[in-house]
Structure 1
Amino acid sequence: MIVPVTVPKAELHCHIEGAAPPTLVKRLAEQHGIDLSHVLNGNGKFIWSDFSSFLKAYDAASAVFKTPSDYALLSETYFRMLAAEGAIYGEIFISPDHAQAAGLSYRSYVEGLAAGMERAKTDTAIEGRMIAIGVRHFGAAAVERVVKDVIGNPHPLVTGFGLAGDERSGHPANFAKAFRMASEAGLGTTAHAGEFAGPESIVAALEFLRVKRIGHGVRAIEDKDLVRRLAEEGVVLEVCPGSNIALGVYTHLRFHPVNILRREGVKITINSDDPPFFGTTLGREYASVADTFGWSFDDLMSVTRTAIEAAFCDPATKNRLLVRLDSAAR
């Protein structure tokens, strides 16, 4: 069995509010006088049973983060956890809509998160970047508002733009303008697709949003032509196996298509999505796919290399990360 921490890891798909450890959520809830007994049980686990109740628990837990210092504590905590599992790089999805609900400006939200990321980097050398996301079921105008905030308030650690929310709500064509604005501003782009919606949602994201990375994307397996296209065009899938199992997209990891997709030449990365909600971590994700599918140390190193090469960071940072990766292979 592979010792997961010996493999340098990189993560491209994690929602920062969804990465909050229950202990931190509980502490801030008490500090701010918020009752979370309906979403956090006595054993320190989030309470949810299906996708709808997961979203409610997620929003309730996110509501405890009220100030820039709260968000700094969240990002520092998460990046330290990543580094402790051997990660050398992490990208987090940030949600300006959640910040707005907490009464924070976009700038204050980002500055808080950046402060925590920098503290973690100082102590652990982990690199991190942020991807601002629009929520598709809030509509095209809301998604465009997010990208305007990002472009109007540039920050060196905010290097990407993405689309999340209910895949079944709103056709990607509705968000083409927002993605065009993001690309013209030099931001990397990604979009959730092929999780709860089928392969047609992936095709639409590729056609209308012109992305080179897809969040999840696993249901591409249902369309052989699409699998071939993903491989030929070098589209990178941000695969979150534990999340897919927890949310019922697949019943068991051995039935998950990540191994078949990889064998077919599709570029695969491994990610944790909303780790404490799904009882996982990035390290556990690496270990579970290795155990289930017999992936070797070199296979996992290749997964990390794919993530670094697809990362939304500058070439100099990317090169440094690749040197760190190569040094672990010797």
Structure 2
Amino acid sequence: MRDPRDHDEESLHRIKGLPKVELHLHIEGAAPPAFIRGLAQEKKVRLDGVFAEDGSYVYRDFVHFLEVYEAATSVLKSPEDYARLTTAVLEECAGSGVIYAETFISPDFCGGGDLGAWREYLHAMQDAADKAERDMGITLRGIVTCVRHFGPEKARAAALCAAETAGDWICGFGMGGDENRGEQRDFAYSFDMAREAGLRLTTHAGEWRGAAEVRRAIEDLGVERIGHGVRAIEDPALVDLIAERGITLEVCPGSNVRLGVYPSLAAHPIQKLRDRGARVTVSTDDPPFFHSTMMQEYENLARTFGWEEEDFIEISKTSADAAFCSADTREALLKRLESA
């Protein structure tokens, strides 16, 4: 690391141009606003209160963000819509230098939890991802997620969809949604079902609730990755446990600042977590909602913490090691990172 003031435009250009690996990306939350507006116009659907005057998404706080997210998602009604969404999202990712991404996909939004409908949505998204890999050189894999504020019963339906379609493309299971609703242990059955199907596990924790929520996610659900997890810094013993067990944190700095988890990037604990030996990765979460891209995340981290190319290469390799993809896909990914 260097003094952030020592970064010149040339070094920032090299950093932004590095190949990137993203592990925490919600497919609907990554939808460009113009794409959602266009789809709404095609379907003659009004989306009042979703967009600001400049065309970007607008919301007041985290709970309102979830409402706006679900309102925007409401225009996505068919497998074809999700195929188009997948292409639009991967174009944005590839434009920011992402070569591999894992995206959260919810059967609740893709067929309402019905297994037959879910298969159709999944086939459409996978076809679009395969074409993007051929045309843009970006690889996508899917992590099925239940939605915490929809409750444990709907989570079981999502877990069944995940278990029945587990394989090379659907490689993980997780949970998103409102962290302040229910408890991690309420969803243990769904996570056990996914685990038995061979899926690897992650869950959102330690974004809104404190360090104890991260500990509960580890102990009650047995996950190997934590979405966000940044509030773990409030319990040094927990950070030590995370480091010892090799649990990976899917950190989304721009998201945390935009939503007010931390007042500024300088106040964000990502460097402190690294210093204590935690396996840290960098992602965008819902990039257009937070006016961010992976390129901007890299630039902002370099300017704030003085991270150099070596720091970001380390982050990318950690991300590749923690990816839920097959061993063959990981080997190919690491080769691309090494060659770059």
Place the TM-score, normalised by the shorter chain, in its bin: over 0.9
1:76 aligns with one of 87, 98, 112: 87
Deviation at residue 180 of structure 1 after TM alignment: 1.4
* Letter of the 1:312 counterpart: F
1:15 correspondence with 2:26:
yes
After TM superposition, list the pairs within 5 Å mapping 1:297-312 onto structure 2. Answer: 297-312=309-324
CA contact (8 A) 2:107 2:113 kept: no
Q: Secondary structure at the match of 2:287?
A: coil
Q: Secondary structure at the match of 2:180?
A: coil
* Letter of the 1:124 counterpart: M
1:226 correspondence with 2:250:
no
After TM superposition, list the pairs within 5 Å mapping 1:72-111 onto structure 2. Answer: 72-101=83-112, 105-111=117-123
- Taking the aligned partners of 2:25 and 2:247, their CA distance within structure 1 comes to 19
2:154 aligns with one of 142, 157, 160: 142
- Taking the aligned partners of 1:238 and 1:195, their CA distance within structure 2 comes to 11
- Taking the aligned partners of 2:187 and 2:113, their CA distance within structure 1 comes to 25
After TM superposition, list the pairs within 5 Å mapping 1:281-300 onto structure 2. Answer: 281-300=293-312
The equivalent residue for 1:115 is: 127
After TM superposition, list the pairs within 5 Å mapping 1:229-268 onto structure 2. Answer: 229-268=241-280
2:37 aligns with one of 6, 26, 31: 26
CA contact (8 A) 1:193 1:214 kept: yes
- Taking the aligned partners of 1:153 and 1:232, their CA distance within structure 2 comes to 32
Deviation at residue 151 of structure 1 after TM alignment: 1.6
Deviation at residue 2 of structure 1 after TM alignment: 2.2
The equivalent residue for 1:188 is: 200
Note the residue ranges of structure 1 that are not aligned, 5 or more in a row: none
1:55 aligns with one of 66, 75, 84: 66
Q: Secondary structure at the match of 2:288?
A: coil
The equivalent residue for 1:277 is: 289
* Letter of the 2:60 counterpart: S
For each residue in 1:145-170, what CA deviation from the matched residue of structure 2 results, as whole angstroms up to 9, or x when unmatched? 11111222345311110011121222
- Taking the aligned partners of 1:298 and 1:324, their CA distance within structure 2 comes to 16
For each residue in 1:293-326, what CA deviation from the matched residue of structure 2 results, as whole angstroms up to 9, or x when unmatched? 0001010000000010000100011001001101
- Taking the aligned partners of 2:271 and 2:249, their CA distance within structure 1 comes to 12
Question: Could you tell which deviates more after superposition, 295-304 or 168-177?
Answer: 168-177
1:132 correspondence with 2:170:
no
The equivalent residue for 1:313 is: 325
The equivalent residue for 2:219 is: 207
- Taking the aligned partners of 2:124 and 2:213, their CA distance within structure 1 comes to 34
Q: Secondary structure at the match of 2:311?
A: helix
Q: How many correspondences in the alignment?
A: 328
* Letter of the 2:90 counterpart: F
CA contact (8 A) 2:205 2:228 kept: yes
1:163 aligns with one of 175, 182, 194: 175
Deviation at residue 119 of structure 1 after TM alignment: 1.6
Deviation at residue 95 of structure 1 after TM alignment: 1.3
TM-score, with length taken from structure 2 = 0.93
Question: Could you tell which deviates more after superposition, 193-202 or 129-138?
Answer: 129-138
The equivalent residue for 2:57 is: 46
Structure 1 vs Structure 2 CA RMSD: 1.5
CA contact (8 A) 1:239 1:258 kept: yes
- Taking the aligned partners of 1:255 and 1:11, their CA distance within structure 2 comes to 23
Note the residue ranges of structure 2 that are not aligned, 5 or more in a row: 1-10
